[in-house]
């Protein structure tokens, strides 16, 4: 790529940080819907087999797309600092391993813990989050005596997670299992796309070929043109964990390269190119919708294409806002873009602490709370819904603000 394009990756992209922060805010917000009744259908996940795209169906794919957009910045930053390819490969592997470990613990927290374990699930969740921070905190680089203390904390964090995994039992007697959940899916997609980018670097045609190949594979799987029973294609793709998550992440890599390539063109042409890309994705999504339903649960092609178009369009608006000097509008959620992983695990910790030590608004006493603050004449399903949505938004914002406070005191997950 040209010098201007290489220069593009030397700058931190504020619009990507803001998009990541907004996505995390929405992710925590929609994950709190379990405690609300009468949530509008357009805000929830679509049900199995329904041709529909809800707000909750868009959050995860946007996050994957943003992960892909960040890959060229991260890898080029390492090379700019003079770090080797071998070191970069090890860095990619270590980040993936960390995401898989965190994903495994967060996934186990969805199960019912056996009373024989001796601790409750809220205590289990709060402890594994503490373990995450002990291991992967951004410890400052200072003199040896204190640095040895940080190393000791990391070792204790590893031992804590090993102990929690060892004692884990469900009510059905199941042990800690290798199910990696959302963070694990992000980890596998990141691993594949980071390696692809590492070996083809700034080649847009090669990245496009990879994106098309994986997308066609997903199309064939959706139409069952590739049998689901074991075969060489499924075995190879299964080893690399290739699927819709990989398509979305690779789409982010490709988009980053495109905006870098055309970063130097005049604004009018840039807008035309942006609109052309969005229109192309929307047209492709509409055409594919003739053959597949829009479904997150099925990871269908229209879902992938519509979510990609939404992400590209949202990023375009945020990029315009940043160019106009409006980035400070989003300062209140800034930690969501700079300490994303901390924000993601914060609800696990805070919910556990509130559940264990502080009376909170669970589903039943939440209604009692509304009974207390609202006159009987105003107690309608609509009133409950609005209070619930406001409460969930405040909860999501609080998680980010607490993360920001911790970040100020150098407590931040970084892998």
pLDDT (0 to 100) of residue 369 = 57
Confidence of residue 392 (pLDDT cuts 50, 70, 90): confident
Residue 113, strand partner residues: 170
8 Å CB contact between 163 and 123? no
Q: Is residue 148 part of a domain?
A: yes
pLDDT (0 to 100) of residue 404 = 95
**pLDDT at residue 281 tops 50:** yes
Q: Give the Cα separation of 44 and 54 in Å (integer).
A: 5
8 Å CB contact between 294 and 300? yes
Q: Which segments within 223-332 are labelled E, that is strand?
A: none
Q: Give the Cα separation of 400 and 397 in Å (integer).
A: 5
Domains identified in the chain, total number = 1
Eight-state DSSP code of residue 379 = -
Give residues with Cβ within 8 angstroms of 5, minimum separation 6: 202, 260, 261, 263, 264
State which residues form the domain around 106.
3-408
Q: Is residue 413 part of a domain?
A: no
Q: Give the Cα separation of 109 and 413 in Å (integer).
A: 19
Mean pLDDT for 203-225 is: 85
Q: Give the Cα separation of 67 and 61 in Å (integer).
A: 10
Range from 3-7, 38-42, 326-330 carrying the lowest mean pLDDT: 3-7
Q: Which segments within 215-258 are labelled E, that is strand?
A: none
**pLDDT at residue 204 tops 50:** yes
Phi, psi of 140 (to 5 degrees): -70, 150
Q: Give the Cα separation of 326 and 317 in Å (integer).
A: 11
Q: Is residue 119 part of a domain?
A: yes
Which one has a higher pLDDT value, 141 or 90? 90
Give residues with Cβ within 8 angstroms of 91, minimum separation 6: 78
Tally the C-alpha atoms within 13 A of residue 52's C-alpha that lie toward its C-beta: 13
Q: How many other β-carbons are positioned within 10 Å of the β-carbon of residue 305?
A: 24
Q: Is residue 312 part of a domain?
A: yes
Q: Give the Cα separation of 76 and 90 in Å (integer).
A: 15
**Whole-model pTM over 0.85:** yes
pLDDT (0 to 100) of residue 240 = 46
Average pLDDT, the chain: 85
**pLDDT at residue 10 tops 90:** no
8 Å CB contact between 122 and 355? yes
8 Å CB contact between 94 and 175? no
Q: Give the Cα separation of 77 and 57 in Å (integer).
A: 32
Confidence of residue 371 (pLDDT cuts 50, 70, 90): low
Q: Is residue 414 part of a domain?
A: no
Range from 65-79, 126-140, 208-222, 238-252 carrying the lowest mean pLDDT: 238-252
Residue entry with tokens 């200072």: 142
**27: burial class by Cβ within 10 Å (0-12, 13-18, 19+)?**
buried
Of 90, 68, 93, 79, residue with least CA distance to 193 = 68
Which one has a higher pLDDT value, 354 or 103? 103
**pLDDT at residue 4 tops 50:** no
Mean pLDDT for 46-74 is: 91
Q: Is residue 415 part of a domain?
A: no
Q: Is residue 293 part of a domain?
A: yes
pLDDT (0 to 100) of residue 18 = 95
Q: How far apart are the first and last CA of the chain?
A: 29
pLDDT (0 to 100) of residue 400 = 96
Structure tokens at 6: 């290489």
Structure tokens at 278: 């969005």
Mean pLDDT for 182-211 is: 91
Q: Give the Cα separation of 30 and 27 in Å (integer).
A: 5
């Amino acid at each position: 790529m040209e010098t201007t394009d290489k220069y593009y990756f030397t700058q931190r992209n504020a619009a990507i940080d803001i998009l990541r922060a907004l996505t995390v805010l929405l992710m925590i917000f929609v994950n709190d819907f379990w405690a609300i009744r009468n949530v509008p259908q357009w805000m929830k996940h679509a049900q199995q087999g329904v041709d529909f795209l809800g707000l909750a169906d868009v959050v995860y794919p946007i996050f994957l797309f943003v992960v892909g957009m960040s890959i060229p910045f991260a890898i080029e930053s390492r090379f700019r600092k003079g770090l080797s390819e071998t070191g970069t490969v090890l860095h990619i592997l270590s980040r993936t391993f960390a995401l898989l470990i965190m994903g495994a613990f967060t996934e186990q927290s969805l199960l019912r813990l056996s009373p024989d374990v001796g601790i409750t699930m809220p205590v289990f969740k709060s402890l594994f989050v503490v373990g995450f921070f002990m291991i992967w905190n951004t410890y400052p680089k200072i003199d040896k005596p204190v640095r040895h203390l940080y190393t000791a904390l990391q070792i204790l964090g590893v031992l804590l997670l090993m102990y929690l995994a060892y004692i884990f039992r469900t009510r059905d007697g199941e042990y800690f299992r290798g199910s990696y959940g959302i963070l694990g899916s992000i980890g596998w997609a990141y691993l594949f796309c980071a390696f692809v980018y590492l070996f083809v670097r700034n080649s847009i045609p090669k990245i496009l070929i990879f994106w098309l190949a994986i997308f066609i594979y997903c199309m064939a799987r959706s139409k069952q043109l590739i049998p689901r029973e074991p075969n060489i294609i499924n075995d190879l793709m299964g080893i690399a964990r290739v699927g819709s998550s990989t398509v979305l992440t690779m789409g982010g890599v490709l988009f980053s390269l495109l905006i870098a390539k055309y970063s130097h063109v005049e604004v009018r042409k840039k807008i035309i190119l942006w609109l052309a890309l969005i229109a192309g994705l929307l047209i492709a999504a509409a055409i594919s919708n003739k053959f597949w339903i829009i479904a997150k649960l099925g990871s269908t092609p229209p879902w992938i294409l519509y979510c990609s178009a939404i992400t590209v369009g949202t990023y375009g608006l945020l990029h315009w806002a940043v160019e106009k000097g409006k980035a400070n509008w989003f300062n209140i959620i800034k930690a969501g873009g700079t300490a994303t992983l901390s924000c993601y695990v914060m609800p696990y910790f805070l919910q556990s602490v509130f559940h264990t030590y502080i009376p909170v608004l669970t589903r039943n006493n939440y209604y009692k709370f509304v009974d207390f603050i609202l006159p009987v004449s105003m107690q309608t399903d609509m009133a409950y819904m609005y209070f619930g949505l406001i409460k969930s938004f405040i909860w999501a914002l609080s998680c980010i603000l607490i993360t920001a406070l911790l970040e100020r005191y150098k407590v931040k997950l970084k892998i």
